[in-house]
Amino acid sequence: MVVLLFASFLLLILIGIDVGIAMVLSAWFGIFAKPDRAVDAILLPQYLMNGVSFYALVQIPLFVLAGDIMNRGGVTMRLIEWSQSLVGHFRGSLGHVSIMTNIGMAGISGSAVADAIAIGKPLIPAMQKAGYDRSFAGAVVAAGAVLGPIIPPSIPMVVYAQMANVSVAKLFFSGIVPGLLLAGGFFFISYLVARRHGYPTTPATPWRGRLSATGRASWALAMPLLILLGIRFGLFTETEVAAVVVLYALLVSLLIYGDLKLRELPRLILDSGKSSASILFLLAAAGPFSWLVAESQVDKHAVEFIRSLSNDPATILLWINVFLLIVGILIEPLPAMVIFLPALLPVVPLLGIDPIHFGALIVINLVIGLLTPPVGMLLFVVANIGKIPLAELSRGVIPFLLWSIVVLGFLIYFPALTTWLPNRLL
């Protein structure tokens, strides 16, 4: 049964069927191939509903909507202006501006692809016009966009928290240190490349100008603080804070920045609803699929196989991450989590691995796949925006990719990098 389950799923994916629909169809095939036929296929819709019948999942459409409202509300240009005032005087200024802007955008949208589009459209042409190599211009935008799902809020972290039954708030805090480590390395790589190629810089912005730019961007920068501090001090629950940030995004975009018009809101809500529906349908499809995986005891066999490799948790995590790095090249983060977490999660308590640490590793690992040649989603998005040949962009992204893998290695062997902050504050 389990062979048919996975074989049919892979076959459906290869012929171009959507991941969610492929999971539902393969689960249907799996039910009919179940030896004892203890489950009637008529129950398939019930298992679908069970996959999304959790109150906490309301965070997903709310966070998606808040990010879309802020993106449409003029946030990107204000963050670019703010970043320019702070780091524009360093060698390769626009590269640093891209990374700094991505740090700010990560705390708003939580989506790597959305951030790459929002930041790449104005900055890639600007870098090319200033004499930057187009492979570097695209690579630095793609690398910075990786921070989106790592620095809170993060849709993949919400999904993992639901599947693993752990605290969303702790997962959010677990991504802060890794996100800053990644960003610090990206800044250094950007500086080295800019120095080597003699990329231009701009005059330093006076302190008055920096303060003015910070003031204009402060409403956008306050959004991640609202999320983290609201949860930390018990002002809102993990679910309530998602609704609060939607109201905050509306206030900022409609009344303070004024770039979003009221007549645009229905269309924006519709677009956000479509994005949310695709995520929630994937989770619904995981219901029957995950149940059949559990029924076939794949998790038990996975535990036995992983334990046969080593008894050291760090070594086991290393092997799991090597496997997921390969998976992440081929499959986007959310589908990969839905497919493989049911088999991997039982390993966590048996080996004494902190589930928050494991969750941070899973999210960061699979997000790195978005940056990995030759089929990383961010590479396709940025290549399309900047009109950059994919092979050329792939070469430019290699230093950033290598640093991302180095950070992932640090996180495997030093769990405190992900667990210290959430354990300290929550």
In tens, the pLDDT along 64-102 reads 888 888 888 888 888 889 998 998 888 888 899 999 998
Instruction: Give CA–CA dist 147/180, Å, rounded.
Output: 9
Q: Please tell me whether residues 201 and 279 are part of one structural domain.
A: yes
Return the percentage of the chain with pLDDT > 90, whole number. Answer: 27
Cα 278 from chain centroid (whole Å): 15
What pLDDT does 36 receive?
61
Q: Please tell me whether residues 13 and 79 are part of one structural domain.
A: no
Q: Please tell me whether residues 34 and 61 are part of one structural domain.
A: no
Q: Please tell me whether residues 226 and 277 are part of one structural domain.
A: yes
Task: Please name which of 122, 148, 140, 143 lies closest in space to residue 191, comparing C-alpha atoms.
Answer: 140
Tell me the per-residue pLDDT of 304-336, one tens digit each, with 9 for 90 and over: 777 677 778 888 888 888 888 888 877 778 878
Tell me the per-residue pLDDT of 378-396, one tens digit each, with 9 for 90 and over: 888 898 888 899 889 999 9
25 lies in which domain range? 1-50
**Measured at the alpha carbon of residue 287, what is the angle toward residues 282 and 288, in degrees to the nearest 5?**
115
Q: Please tell me whether residues 407 and 373 are part of one structural domain.
A: yes
Q: Please tell me whether residues 15 and 152 are part of one structural domain.
A: no
Tell me the per-residue pLDDT of 3-26, one tens digit each, with 9 for 90 and over: 677 777 778 777 877 777 887 888
Q: Please tell me whether residues 273 and 419 are part of one structural domain.
A: yes
Q: In the structure, what pLDDT confidence band is assigned to residue 2 with cuts at 50, 70 and 90?
A: low
Q: Count up the domains in the chain and report the number.
A: 2
Q: Please tell me whether residues 106 and 68 are part of one structural domain.
A: yes
Is the C-alpha dihedral spanning 181, 182, 185, 190 positive or negative?
negative
Q: Please tell me whether residues 105 and 8 are part of one structural domain.
A: no
Q: Please tell me whether residues 16 and 124 are part of one structural domain.
A: no
Q: Please tell me whether residues 184 and 37 are part of one structural domain.
A: no
- Model confidence, pTM: 0.86
Return the percentage of the chain with pLDDT > 70, whole number. Answer: 93
Q: Please tell me whether residues 150 and 43 are part of one structural domain.
A: no
Tell me the per-residue pLDDT of 145-156, one tens digit each, with 9 for 90 and over: 999 899 988 888
